[in-house]
Structure 1
């Protein structure tokens, strides 16, 4: 453990698993991310616990499924008592630090009920999901939500972008066309350059802030620096020269079939009919927006090159575990859908690369690990890396350290993702109350099964239909497969992670506890008492008269 110190935890937002050259993209070259994969392990079957920012990130930061932590949709607060990444790492001497986005919504009502001042150290801990907010910037909200005192906005104003109170929106994420300023939320302008310079755009700014933290660090404590990029999430606006670095010729073929629109599952159809699905079902939209998306990814890769070179000069690469991942993907017209929110691989499968510099991981460097892993596995991985014991009675995830070290260990068969869709504008059309608007996905090597109460199930045969084009949810020939996966989902739903106050080790010590206390229920007489039961000392007690 002498060489183990820091964790650099890099997360992109809305980065698809297949938009890296090391993952097979034909024209998008990401040499710095590829070099990280060469120094570590690329996990080819990594899945998030929800296909949308908020609940996905809350699962990543708590190591627990949404059903357990309760933040099951965007803007649903994480309850104040939920243990987070800071609760697990701070006792191990690790300093969790944030630069970028978390999408954390604090439980203001819970803190008020418990008398916790939001500005107090414990209030900040809960509000920032255990991170020290060196620079917190979720960066995706328009004027009515984004607060004007966000540090990045202040930076832009200092740089002269002061023509609006919210330069994040009107400068960094808008364009100028024929003398008119157009918001980047409108995808028809995605090919135009942002109104900020490349230097002043979000990704270089956040990279510089991460390097600034490292420069200022006093070295007293190892850190877990969460560099959480806002991009390549929409608005899909890139600064020059990244805005036109790629063209329609670089756009890979859309991944969909007409079969998917025939006898479509009713709930899936609702998602297809959203405005984003309609927009990205048109080639014009794909050919306009995807090149800008690729440019944003290329910019991230270039900035990571700068960051890694900086860390090399600081001699930090030998003592820092580096993790690179995303909180979910993006459809871009695949399966006739747009954005995310559903459970095809473009939305729920993510890139995951981990490089551990410890010599124990030398034999796996440059390898691809195909085991099914989940985002909830990162917190237990960090705990074991830091020398701690993984609290199995609290965390749903499993440490990836054995896989990084090349050890052959029993592994999970299924991955699970879930989402509450009550905020979707179509939800009233379903006739279901908000508590009833739930979707679950469970997947193994052969099947992907999607269950939504009130709708027919969806089933994909991944062996014969790896493209996920043919829904077998109503097939008479696949009743047994649906039943098998439904029972697997039921078994998963009965998992028990609510006894957070008693560890497994303590639970073992509590076997026969009442007998040990001398609470002898059901015994006939003193002769029945055997160790570890403890009989009261009746001889020294009161005597009968």
Structure 2
């Protein structure tokens, strides 16, 4: 039977580094289920996110648009009502788009109010959920953060006997110390201890089961399910048996140099001064965190194995495209940083595995692709897989399917771009930077990485001679040419029109360029009636087929006495 894409499984982890999967080279953290998926599909070794922080990165995945296109520049900055997302593009094709897990979306309630949209309506719910129909929304960090005012997972835990106002925190993300005291997993000190909740009731297995529940109920309608795990994002705490699987010596060596702390770029220096960066720079902190972080990843891989076997038993692997990725990585102490505030490789390079059941992808199965790809490419890939027409006037990305089919378009991108709005960070306050100027933009051509920092000198790294990005060449005179070249490339990228989304480029390009005459009879630039009559011989109204009044209007202007003639 010919395999074609009917369904899409879009798996995203939160804060998962690409180098923490065995198919991406981790020597001790084995992820056999993702390795098996890679053997059936393609590993993209140079996939980059559009922002190093959750919210804007995810909005770029969901819209296929760069951060400065969709405008949701940081966590809790709403994606504006009216911005089209994966669900909006696929729904007209008969594809049901559902959410199981996290989006980090904050609803644009003001925008919906202005447009008269009820947030509780179907349309309002879709706007609030990035265009997905929420089957199971779980952003974690609930219930006090505003993410989930009525979290199902907390209700589930209570039904299992794990009581409390917030069992997510008290059980799933807390531990018990040697004296029997409950300790919060928010504290990095306890990351190497086991979570109180048993494995089967922890977040990752719960969300995996909810994904299987949806599949079992889905029926025959094609679907796109966004399975979005909230781990291995902090709190870095995992239940047994995963809590004891890894030791600090199983972790990758920390990547940082003392030279980075000597006269750093002002923005980088201020970010190294964030509390999380100072904490991760302390002796022993990383050793405490890494066992939990690695255990969470191993748990995800095991749960994906359960899901893939569930799908295999139902014959769904033959008709379901599977995309596995993350919204960004995690410094984990590299470069004297914690979290994800800048553009070093551990943070902006995402793991990306794509399995396409289409027989045209057989030639690339088990291969690796080194093309520069971006998060914005995922949405157009889904549109392509579901038989939709490309919408380059709306989406900034491009379908990956030519690469999956073994083709290498000659016009494929030469750079990737990443953006960061640090207006909400302590570093902006320390530097005294106006919020409107607190923007960082990066462009990377596969070797040279250039960072434009408003109000400051640029940063520049040569990953060929300096793969760990220890040496900032942003002020080096001998590299002025590279800085100018990449600055111009970034400027060229920035000045592309990205807001003309209501009419396709193709529709514009197929219109005849006409003499200045409108359907309503407005004349611009004509000398007299004869001039207009001559022009009309060559006139093909752009919208004449929809307006039967055009020809009589022109006849009246040329022959005011009422006579009409075919020209």
| TM-score grouping bracket, smaller chain normalisation | over 0.9
Number of matched pairs: 542
Which runs of 5 or more residues in structure 1 are unaligned?
none
Aligned to 2:545: none
Shift of 1:516: 6.9
Distance 1:418 1:511 in 2: 38
Cα distance in 1 for partners of 2:150, 2:374 equals 35
Cross-structure match for 1:488: 489
2:524 to 518, 521, 524: 521
RMSD: 1.7
Shift of 1:539: 5.1
Q: Spell out the pairing of 1:282-321 with structure 2 (5 A cutoff).
A: 282-321=282-321
What residue is the counterpart of 2:19 in the other structure?
A: 18
Asked whether the equivalents of residues 139 and 148 of structure 2 are also in contact (C-alpha less than 8 Å), the reply is no
Give the match for residue 539 of structure 2: 532
1:285-309 CA-partner distances (Å, limit 9, x unpaired): 1111111100000000000111111
How far did 1:143 drift? 3.5
Q: TM-score, normalised by structure 2?
A: 0.93
Helix, strand or coil at the partner of 1:497: coil
Question: Equivalent residue for 1:542?
Answer: 561
Q: Find the counterpart in structure 1 of residue 547 from structure 2.
A: none
State the match for 2:46 in structure 1.
45
Deviations 1:485-532 (A, max 9, x none): 111111111011211111112112334255474655324424455523
Instruction: Name the structure 2 match of 1:133.
Output: 134
1:497-508 alignment runs, 5 A limit: 497-508=498-509
Deviation, structure 1 residue 541: 2.5
- The answer for the alignment partner of 2:452 in structure 1 is 451
TM-score norm. by structure 1 comes to 0.96
* Alpha-carbon separation, structure 1, partners of 2:10 and 2:162: 31
What is the SS of the residue equivalent to 1:426?
Answer: helix
**What is the alpha-carbon distance in structure 1 between the residues aligned to residue 391 and residue 558 of structure 2?**
44
Paired residue secondary structure (2:466)? coil
| Structure 1 residues 329-344: aligned runs within 5 Å | 329-344=329-344
Q: 3-state SS of the aligned residue for 1:10?
A: strand
CA shift digits 1:410-452 (9 cap, x unpaired): 2100100101111112322222222211111110022101111
Indicate conservation of the 8 Å contact 1:515/1:533, yes or no: no
Match of 1:86 in 2: 87
Comparing 137-146 and 382-391, the one that deviates more: 137-146
Residue 166, structure 1, aligned to residue 162, structure 2: no
**Gapped regions of structure 2 (runs ≥ 5):** 542-550
Q: Displacement of 1:217 after TM fit?
A: 1.4
* Conservation of the 8 A alpha-carbon contact between 1:523 and 1:529: no
Q: 1:87 to 1:35 in 2, by over 3 A?
A: same
Rate the CA distance shift 1:543–1:96 in 2: closer, same or farther, 3 A.
Answer: closer
Provide the secondary structure at the position in 2 that maps to 1:226. strand
Corresponding residue of 1:469: 470
Q: 1:16-165 counterparts in 2 under 5 A?
A: 16-141=17-142, 143=144, 145=146, 147=148, 149-162=150-163, 164-165=164-165
Matched, 1:183 2:184: yes
Give the 5 Å matches for 1:353-372. Answer: 353-372=353-372
